[in-house]
Amino acid sequence: MRMRTVEISVGAFVLAGIIALIFLAVQVSGINFDDTGKTYSVTARFDDIAGLRTRAKVSMAGVTIGRVSSIDVDMAWGEALVTLDILGEPGNLTTDTSAQILTEGILGARYVSLVPGGDEETLGDGDEITDTQGALVLENLIGEFVTNLGK
């Protein structure tokens, strides 16, 4: 009887571990099972997106307000064209909103952070955010430091 209790306990522990791994995989993947409701799209041009992926979060003041829906390259300008799906109705973001690509922690995933401006006009569906700052690439900074060190 005691052996059966040990076997059931081990089985429950293994099952809990598998459930925890599945939960962790879903959280890390960025899959969202919530009903997102109505969204609208805005675009932003960046000189370097360095690791930004589709489905990356778009946040304002630390709160997720949308997702990156697509990333394309504008061959004429040599820039990345990022389309952002923002939750809610158009009119939440002002025309002077700025966008920058940041990293969650030291080795975390890239995401787009929006900082609202003070303009009274707002962005509509399909409008473009013009004030952008690309990702900070650590390799470029180190290379620049080493190059300047030799001078």
Rounded distance, CA 51 to CA 37, Å? 28
In a domain, 142, yes or no: no
pLDDT at 89: 82
> Percent of the chain scored above 90 by pLDDT?
28
Rounded to two decimals, the pTM is 0.70
pLDDT at 27: 76
Residue 32: pLDDT band with limits 50, 70, 90: low
| Residue 135: pLDDT over 90 | no
In a domain, 53, yes or no: yes
**What pLDDT digit, counting tens, does each position of 77-88 carry?**
889 999 999 988
Kindly state whether residues 27 and 58 are assigned to the same domain.
no
pLDDT at 122: 86
In a domain, 147, yes or no: no
Burial class (CB in 10 A: 0-12, 13-18, 19+), 76: exposed
Kindly state whether residues 49 and 116 are assigned to the same domain.
yes
SS3 62: coil
